[in-house]
């Protein structure tokens, strides 16, 4: 039971949070993100250290197609006949602080490049900022991990993978005897590998040799599979604790390639992208050997990100076809005895995780694809509401406001 004091405290906090967002108006200002330079793309200003995301003025351009000029990539071809998405405008207002706000208010506040809200194949709201448009592919960053999860589920459904309790080395001969090759795949899916790796510490040991290459020869000689094979160091037993990192999805990407005898792009094209009815080609960044860097690097139009969300919301069905099984998506939304370390409230007080999907609400009520600098696909399974956002920064309390916006859409 809530006391009056608790309600007052909650209301005061909400008011403060709402007021706090007013301190960040420049974050939505395109001038701060390269508008005066024409939203450039590439490795950065001439004469500067070549980086792929550290120069803010280059993010808008790089995140909406620029990466495809910088990195090798595979194309995932769309089907000639896209699944239906109807434009049916519907206002969504949400409580924030002491007022109610609109989608336009949210977009005016935060550095969002695209926002789309849909339900049952009907687009309620669709907006683009910073010169972006509906025909541009938007990069996913780590939302690609959730795409990998869908592909893994399809491989499991098709009998190419027998059990989550198998190990990668059961399917990938080059991983025999390696550290990551011996870990149960369920623990890799749950970011609970027990391996000594830190997301904040180890990009120089993962991103550089696997994708970026030397600062003096970007993308040259990169080999993600070698990084996975040669990783050493154990922190704890697998299944003990959530420890987010890039090695887990990279290892499972090797498994999918091995069991399908296809690239991830080919497998996605045949068993996910075209059956789903995507309207446009997608791309996936690769290393120098043509292996998809599947922890990030997937890019697609907002309409097709919405279709992926709709696929999840509809329990794996699109256009009258069962593309990924309901059993797999139910597994992504629930926790068994071996998944307790990633339950909502255990993994974090306000978040859970399962099979490369985030859980912003208990019991898997919402599933979220989550990417660096504000890339999100939110799915409410009960109402089948989907929200897609692409952005160029994750600074500030914007996610709290995004969740308020999505909850209002769910209840509409």
Q: What are phi and psi of 376, to 5 degrees?
A: -145, 145
Per-residue confidence (pLDDT) for residue 335, from 0 to 100: 98
* 302, pLDDT greater than 50: yes
Residue range 49-60, pLDDT digits in tens: 999 999 999 999
* 17, pLDDT greater than 70: no
Burial zone of 56 (CB within 10 Å; 0-12 exposed, 13-18 middle, 19+ buried): middle
Q: Quick check: pTM over 0.75?
A: yes
Give CA–CA dist 71/85, Å, rounded. 31
Give the residue-averaged pLDDT of 371-390: 98
Q: Are 333 and 352 in contact (CB under 8 A)?
A: no
- If phi > 0 it is left, if psi is from -120 to 50 it is alpha, else beta; for residue 290 that is left
Task: Domains for the chain: give ranges and CATH numbers.
Answer: 34-43+59-130+138-411 (3.40.710.10)
* 15, pLDDT greater than 70: no
Give the residue-averaged pLDDT of 70-83: 96
Query: What value, to the nearest 5°, has the Cα angle with vertex 298 and ends 294 and 299?
Result: 175
* 20, pLDDT greater than 90: no
Per-residue confidence (pLDDT) for residue 213, from 0 to 100: 98
Per-residue confidence (pLDDT) for residue 12, from 0 to 100: 31
Q: Are 249 and 145 in contact (CB under 8 A)?
A: yes
Residue range 111-149, pLDDT digits in tens: 999 999 999 999 999 999 999 999 999 999 999 999 999
- Among 24-28, 101-105, 310-314, the minimum mean pLDDT is found in 24-28
Q: What are phi and psi of 9, to 5 degrees?
A: -65, -45
Give the residue-averaged pLDDT of 89-118: 97
Burial zone of 7 (CB within 10 Å; 0-12 exposed, 13-18 middle, 19+ buried): exposed
Give the residue-averaged pLDDT of 28-41: 93
pLDDT band at 30 (very low <50, low <70, confident <90, very high): confident
* 200, pLDDT greater than 70: yes
Residue range 276-294, pLDDT digits in tens: 999 999 999 999 999 999 9
% of the chain at pLDDT higher than 90: 92
* 264, pLDDT greater than 80: yes
Give CA–CA dist 305/375, Å, rounded. 11
Per-residue confidence (pLDDT) for residue 210, from 0 to 100: 98
Computed over every residue of the chain, the mean pLDDT equals 93
Per-residue confidence (pLDDT) for residue 21, from 0 to 100: 38
Torsion of CA 309, 310, 313, 317, to 10 degrees: -120
Q: What residues are paired with 380 via a beta bridge?
A: 366, 385
* 18, pLDDT greater than 50: no
Give the residue-averaged pLDDT of 84-90: 96
Give CA–CA dist 207/117, Å, rounded. 33
Per-residue confidence (pLDDT) for residue 28, from 0 to 100: 85
Give the residue-averaged pLDDT of 251-277: 98
Q: What are phi and psi of 242, to 5 degrees?
A: -70, 125
* 155, pLDDT greater than 70: yes
DSSP assignments along 259-324, one per residue: HHTS-HHHHHIIIIIHHHT-SS-EEEEB-TTS-B-TTS-EEE-HHHHHHHHHHHHTTTEETTEESS
Residue range 352-377, pLDDT digits in tens: 999 999 999 999 999 999 999 999 99
* 19, pLDDT greater than 70: no
Give the residue-averaged pLDDT of 331-349: 97
Q: Are 64 and 138 in contact (CB under 8 A)?
A: yes
Give CA–CA dist 121/138, Å, rounded. 20
Separation of first and last alpha carbons in the chain: 27
% of the chain at pLDDT higher than 70: 94
pLDDT band at 317 (very low <50, low <70, confident <90, very high): very high
Query: What value, to the nearest 5°, has the Cα angle with vertex 364 and ends 361 and 367?
Result: 80
């Amino acid at each position: 039971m809530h006391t009056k004091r608790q309600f007052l405290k909650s209301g005061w906090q909400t008011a403060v949070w709402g007021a706090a967002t007013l301190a960040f108006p420049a974050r939505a200002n395109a001038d701060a993100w390269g508008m005066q330079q024409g939203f450039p793309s590439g490795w950065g200003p001439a004469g500067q250290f070549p980086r792929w995301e550290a120069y803010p003025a280059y993010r808008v351009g790089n995140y909406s197609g620029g990466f495809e000029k910088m990195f090798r990539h595979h194309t995932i071809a769309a089907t000639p006949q896209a699944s239906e998405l109807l434009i049916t405008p519907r206002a969504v207002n949400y409580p924030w602080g002491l007022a109610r706000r609109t989608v336009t208010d949210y977009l005016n506040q935060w550095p969002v490049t695209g926002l789309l809200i849909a339900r049952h194949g009907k687009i309620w709201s669709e907006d683009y900022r910073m010169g972006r448009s509906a025909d541009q592919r938007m990069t996913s960053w780590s939302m690609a991990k959730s795409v990998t999860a869908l592909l893994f589920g399809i491989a499991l459904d098709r009998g190419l993978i027998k059990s989550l309790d198998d190990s990668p080395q059961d399917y990938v001969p080059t991983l025999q005897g390696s550290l990551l090759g011996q870990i149960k795949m369920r623990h890799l899916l749950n970011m609970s590998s027990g391996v000594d790796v830190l997301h904040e510490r180890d990009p120089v040991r993962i991103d550089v040799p696997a994708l970026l290459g030397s600062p003096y020869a970007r993308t040259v000689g990169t080999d993600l599979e070698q990084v996975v094979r040669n990783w050493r160091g154990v922190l704890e037993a697998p299944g003990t604790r959530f420890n987010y990192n890039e090695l887990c999805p990279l290892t499972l990407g090797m498994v999918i390639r091995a069991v399908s005898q296809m690239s991830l792009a080919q497998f996605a094209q045949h068993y996910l992208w075209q059956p789903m009815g995507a309207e446009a080609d997608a791309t996936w960044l690769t290393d120098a050997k043509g292996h998809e860097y599947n922890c990030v690097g997937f890019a697609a139009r907002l309409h097709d990100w919405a279709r992926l969300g709709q696929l999840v919301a509809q329990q794996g069905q699109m256009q009258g076809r069962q593309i990924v099984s309901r059993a797999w998506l139910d597994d992504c939304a629930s926790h068994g005895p071996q998944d307790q370390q990633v339950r909502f409230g255990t993994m974090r007080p306000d978040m859970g995780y399962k099979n490369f999907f985030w859980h912003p609400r208990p019991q898997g009520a919402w599933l979220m694809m989550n990417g660096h600098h504000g890339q999100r696909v939110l799915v409410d399974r009960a109402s089948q509401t989907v929200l897609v956002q692409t952005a160029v920064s994750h600074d500030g309390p914007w996610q709290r406001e995004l969740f308020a916006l999505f909850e209002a859409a769910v209840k509409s």
